[in-house]
């Protein structure tokens, strides 16, 4: 089955800095790559996703890049704010209504 590795497990940055979280996957047939943000005690919330026919996608301060050849994708957060502090999970899925395999998560702490 699919194997998803996520790094780093924790990330501390100063407000205004950029943060980058990376994930690698094993199944070359995978083609859907969402990112979820989970605040303490809350449900995971989709923040951005990308499909294999696109190399990069951006939404305001958040961007995701995908390298299908190397089988890795990254989440980029620019101009970080304290409210960005949360656990971020990458996930990998196939086509159609497939299941998702999640990475182990990255705890992001943004200090004022």
Which residues in this chain contact other proteins in the complex, by CB under 8 A? Answer: 1, 32, 34, 36, 42-46, 49, 89, 93, 95-105
Q: How far is the CB of 99 from other proteins (least distance, A)?
A: 6
Q: How far is the CB of 92 from other proteins (least distance, A)?
A: 12
Copy the structure tokens of residue 15. 């407000």
Beta bridge partners of 70: none
Q: How far is the CB of 51 from other proteins (least distance, A)?
A: 9
Cβ distance to other proteins smaller for residue 42 or 61: 42
Distance CA 67, CA 65 (A): 7
Residue 9 CB neighbour total at 10 angstroms: 12
Copy the structure tokens of residue 52. 């294999």
């Amino acid at each position: 089955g699919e194997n998803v590795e996520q790094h780093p497990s924790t990330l501390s940055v100063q407000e205004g800095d950029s943060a980058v979280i990376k994930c690698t996957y094993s199944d070359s047939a995978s083609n859907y790559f969402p990112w979820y943000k989970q605040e303490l005690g809350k449900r995971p919330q989709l923040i951005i996703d990308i499909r294999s026919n696109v190399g990069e996608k951006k939404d305001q301060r958040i961007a995701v890049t995908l390298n299908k050849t190397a089988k890795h994708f990254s989440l980029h957060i620019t101009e970080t704010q304290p409210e960005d502090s949360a656990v971020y999970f990458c996930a990998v899925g196939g086509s159609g209504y497939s299941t998702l395999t999640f990475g182990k998560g990255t705890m992001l702490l943004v200090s004022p």
